[in-house]
């Protein structure tokens, strides 16, 4: 098994391997074993992992910025209308 740099648990790796095996059987009518599935998993993690991780960080930042903007408008909505002051 390759180094687990993505901190996938054993259960997560096993589930992903099963999904890969199922995909190859269902979509390509090809038998694939655990070693083959693990190799494919490592390949895609190496090729796509950082890109997907960075995209997730960008998405999280956008969500956080929207939440902060909403919080600021909600904050000012709490102000009371003070006459003459």
Reported as a single tens digit per residue, the pLDDT across 30-77 is 999 999 999 999 999 999 999 999 999 999 999 999 998 888 888 888
pLDDT of 6 over the 60 cut:
yes
- With a threshold of 0.85, does the pTM exceed it? no
Q: Contact at 8 Å (CB) between 13 and 4? A: yes
Q: Contact at 8 Å (CB) between 30 and 24? A: yes
* Most distant pair of Cα atoms in the chain: their distance: 80
At residue 84 the predicted structure's pLDDT band, cuts being 50, 70 and 90, is: low
Alpha helices (H) in 1-85, listed in sequence order:
10-28, 34-77
């Amino acid at each position: 098994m390759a180094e687990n740099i993505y901190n996938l648990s054993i259960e997560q790796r096993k589930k992903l391997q099963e999904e890969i095996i199922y995909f190859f059987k269902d979509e390509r009518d090809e038998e694939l074993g655990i070693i083959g599935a693990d190799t494919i998993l490592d390949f895609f993690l190496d090729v796509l992992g950082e890109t997907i991780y960075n995209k997730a960080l960008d998405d999280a930042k956008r969500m956080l910025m929207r939440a902060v903007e909403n919080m600021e408008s909600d904050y000012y909505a709490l102000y009371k209308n003070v006459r003459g002051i």
